[in-house]
Structure 1
């Protein structure tokens, strides 16, 4: 557990963590040892001169006070180290996530990471602050008390020692029996969270379609699954909790009987019997709390394992000696890319000369967006090579590569903040005049003029306070401000109304002017402006040529084009 914690955190935190563990173990051991003073105290109290017990009582009081101070110091260290670890964990996780390839972030992964970065990190980092001290007490204090019992009377000490392997076996059995239930509960929690989020986001569509009842049923099903998984988890842990209590009570009863037999036989005195029973009762208390602490530790360990898996995910390798692209052209050479068992891009070779525009069209699932992502090195290819300016993207530093590429996707994400702040993401150090010029070129200034607050208008989380067309204008203005020589466009106008489409097209024309462009598009207006059209199907280039040329051929592209531009039935 501690080794995994240090691996997740990094070795720079090893010393404070080990110091805290040592302090907590010392406090637990000191607590057990302090009870050894009960033996001379009780001997004197039960003896002919009870007043002689005062020195031993004073020593016992001093030992208890020392234990309290040591406990305070260890707990304080735990809280301080826990706070430091929490801050360090967030920094390390954030830095690592920023280095992972963009292609790593699919829809399911984003939800998983968001839960992990919230509840998961807090639960994992609570080990030092809240869970380690009870666990140390449950392990170290009873063992110390067993050692004291061995010193008081070896027979009673051996009786107590016999319980150690039994308790360890019960805990191991409980951990094995609850592992599957814990994993199922985690999966059901994620499923329920996804259903809640889906239900909230789909409210406008569901209410318009009058289908809220069905969605309630889906959400209720997910919540029922969580309840069933929770019940199975409790039932799986219950035998271990009951077994531990039975073992502890059985050992205490055995010590009581053994002590009575020994006392009646005159082998030990009443003081030793009472002291042994007090020690046994004190050792039983942390053992009975072990079940709860162990359950929380298992949950924290599971979160640590998930954090460890993310942190051990390797980012795309950076070149030791980065090269600089010689020009602005793009090339794909026999590129193969697989996602799991599926080949998404299969042997694609494509050359885009500097300053030219290439449109990529094809049916859904053909691999068009993946092609753009490979050009931006969101993923590394499995075979072949992607070249920018004649250099393999794997030999170009990430910062240098992204400085040369501007990407505008269909689904635009804006950070909560002002319009100006979102535009400045393209080039944070740009002057105000450059920001205004980029906004005017993207016709974003029209949006700014009609919004209350103008440039200081808040766009909301994800840009929710703006329409789809307005978000696209922000995205284009951001790309214009970046002024990258290569532009990648993905279905930018596929879901816009005519007014916004016209404005976005005007901004795109300014963005594409003089740049190397690869665009995924379906609209006639976009494709006709391309110097070349590539028809992609099942990850392969089926046809390649100019728009008019491909229409004259009457092949796959012509059929696809006719189907996509045909008027709707009854229109």
Structure 2
């Protein structure tokens, strides 16, 4: 039952065991006063007498037991929470490691909302199970079972009567767990869908407002929230009757022993003293047994939750070895490369060679596979078939870190962390000095906007780099690449957000970045790559043609069409 969580507990399982022992002793101390009560009642019922000092002694012992119960219960919960939160830490770290090994496509399919819910909400719910359900469930179950066993040594007939209510309660609880588990998967799926919708609604609010789509967007927002509400209520509706039944029947251990046991006494089959003792013991069993059953219903969720978290990241990790880069030079070769997004093949038998020091441009219509090929080179995904080599070494036959050390990837949309611009650039080479970072920023043409910043390069970028424009973020990312100084550069629409005034500066910065490098550049603006050593024309995931600009104008109808469209776009203007 605890097989899924055990690997994440590590050495802290000892704290959980100690917590269960402490809570068990606490429950025992909570049961003992009922025996003191029996010691007080039995002589009075039998017509005997008891001194005031004796009664006072039992009252004092009862107070000590209740105090011990409170102290040990709190101590047990303290230990269990220490174990729980360290287990959650281990779980989050383990899931983070698995997340990093996942292809980026699989991560994008999950959605930000699902990932956020997984690392916060879902894992936090595990805390209740670890900190309470396990130690309290064990402690509150073991003691009632021991008391019920002791009843057999007092009077086996009365003990059997006390057990008669348990099968009904356990059956009701089993039914509740069965119908609840059947709907648990749909319930969690509804929660994940709601989280993704909420995040999409918040992130897209600007677009929604600008285009007056409030009604449509809110309708989906409301629909998914209503669906989650309905799934939750449906889950509870099927569980409520069984919950009510077992919570009513289970604590009533005296349900049969009180009336039938009284008749046994009248018939002389049981003694009055034994009857009183069994009744007192029955009253002591009800509360802890009910607690144990309440937590017992939650313990099966523990495995389900852990397995569900692991299942979200069960996509096979990227193929890689523990070898360093051992290639000769930095030639790049795509050989019979095929790749699919899910079941849709988007790259078909691509063969491409890029010599060291060569600049190769990928061009083609949107959706032709340009960015996908670039991402395959930096190993964002595994191939369906074929191979990609760097310096003759397959990229799957080296550590991902070794590959990343040799490639600088500058994407169209760059993410900046909410730290200083200096630290954002320093991500390219963490050991770089301040002077080296400033020089990279200068070469990336960042000086003009850094001068406007209140603290210059020490200005905070804001969440996601919101303090900068799209073009400014791209120049910061270009400064990262300059600082990294990798031998291979991949530019995926690196000038997409550059305005005409700054395009010349960016081209000068890119010239600095690619000097002496092996370069793969993806561009929609064909005039920016006419000087490339080789231009590769992609069409629907396949290579249509390759050559220089002049050669392609002569030999490729697809390239001529793209070039004509680019020329017409350059001459396009708005007229009043």
* More displaced 10-residue stretch of structure 1: 391-400 or 299-308: 299-308
Aligned alpha-carbon RMSD (Å): 2.9
Contact residue 149 and residue 157 of structure 1 kept, 8 A:
yes
Question: In terms of mean alpha carbon deviation, does 524-533 or 441-450 score higher?
Answer: 524-533
CA distance in structure 2 between the partners assigned to 1:124 and 1:186 by the alignment = 14
| More moved, 315-324 vs 75-84 | 315-324
Structure 1 unaligned spans of 5+: none
* Structure 2 residues not aligned, in runs of 5+: none
1:512 and 2:526 aligned: no
Answer whether contact 1:413 1:463 (CA < 8 A) is retained: yes
Q: Which range moves more in the overlay, 556-565 or 511-520?
A: 556-565
SS, match of residue 4 in structure 1: coil
Query: Cα distance, 1:251 vs. partner?
Result: 5.1
2:19 corresponds in structure 1 to: 20
User: What TM-score do you get using the length of structure 1 for normalisation?
Assistant: 0.90
The equivalent of 1:173 in structure 2 is: 175
**Are 1:147 and 2:149 an aligned pair?**
yes
Q: 1:50 maps to which residue? A: 50
Kept in 2, the 8 Å contact 1:469–1:504? The answer is no
**What SS class does the counterpart of residue 417 from structure 1 fall into?**
coil
Q: Distance in 2 between matches of 1:84 and 1:332?
A: 46
For residues 279 and 538 of structure 1, what CA distance do their matches in structure 2 show?
A: 78
1:6 and 2:11 correspond: no
Query: What pairs up with 1:345-424 in 2 under 5 angstroms?
Result: 345-424=347-426
Distance change in 2, residues 1:221/1:311 (3 Å): closer
Residue 444 of structure 2: aligned partner: 442
1:220–1:55: structure 2 CA closer, same or farther, 3 Å change rule?
closer
Distance 1:164 1:537 in 2: 71
CA separation in 2, counterparts of 1:172 and 1:569?
A: 73
**Deviation of residue 311 (structure 1)?**
6.7
Which segment is superposed worse, 197-206 or 449-458? 197-206
130 and 179 in structure 1: CA distance in 2 versus 1, 3 angstrom threshold: same
In 2, Cα distance between equivalents of 1:543 and 1:440: 38
Query: Are the aligned partners of 1:332 and 1:348 in contact in 2 as well (CA < 8 Å)?
Result: yes
Alignment partner for residue 241 of structure 1, among 240, 243, 255?
A: 243
Alignment of 1:309-328 (within 5 A): 309=311, 315-328=317-330
Counterparts in 2 of 1:99-110, with a 5 A limit?
99-106=101-108, 108-110=110-112
SS, match of residue 3 in structure 1: coil
Distance 1:543 1:406 in 2: 26
- Give the 3-state SS of the residue equivalent to 1:415 in structure 2: coil
More divergent stretch after superposition (490-499 vs 386-395): 490-499
Residue 55 of structure 1, CA deviation: 6.9
1:127 has 2:129 as partner = yes
Deviation at 1:339, TM superposition (A): 3.1
Q: Say which SS state the counterpart of residue 285 (structure 1) adopts.
A: helix
TM superposition shift of 1:105: 2.3
Alignment check: 8 A CA contact 1:28 1:136 kept: no
CA distance in 2, matches of 1:300, 1:500: 56
Instruction: Decide which of 118, 121, 129 is 2:120's aligned counterpart.
Output: 118
How far apart are residue 95 of structure 1 and its match?
A: 4.1
Cα separation, partners in 2 of 1:215 and 1:334, compared to 1, 3 Å = same
From 410, 423, 429, the counterpart of 2:431: 429
Asked if the contact 2:425–2:476 (Cα under 8 Å) also holds between the matched residues in 1, the reply is: yes
Q: Provide Cα deviations, 1:326-354, integer angstroms capped at 9, x if missing partner.
A: 10111111122233322232221111000
Is the alpha carbon distance of 1:15 and 1:137 closer, same or farther for their aligned partners in structure 2, counting shifts above 3 Å? closer
Q: Name the counterpart of 2:268.
A: 266
Q: CA deviation at 1:438?
A: 0.6
Q: Which moved more, 1:337-346 or 1:475-484?
A: 337-346
Check conservation: 1:124, 1:301, Cα contact below 8 A. no
Aligned pairs for 1:91-102 (under 5 A) are 91-102=93-104
Q: Taking structure 1 as reference, are residues 319 and 218 closer, same or farther at Cα in structure 2, changes over 3 Å only?
A: closer
Alpha-carbon distance in structure 1 between the residues aligned to 2:559 and 2:283: 83
Aligned length: 570
> How many angstroms apart in 1 are the aligned matches of 2:162 and 2:130?
29
Aligned counterparts of 1:414 and 1:267: Cα–Cα separation in 2: 83
Structure 2 distance, partners of 1:125, 1:493, is 47
**Does the aligned pair in 2 maintain the 1:425–1:478 contact within 8 Å?**
yes
Alignment of 1:445-456 (within 5 A): 445-456=447-458
- In the TM superposition, 1:201-212 aligns within 5 A as 201-212=203-214
Distance in 2, matches of 1:217 and 1:96, equals 35
Measured in 2, the distance between the counterparts of 1:37 and 1:519 equals 85
- Which stretch shifts more, 166-175 or 400-409? 166-175
- Report Cα offsets for 1:91-122 as digits up to 9, x if no partner: 43344434444444215344322222112222
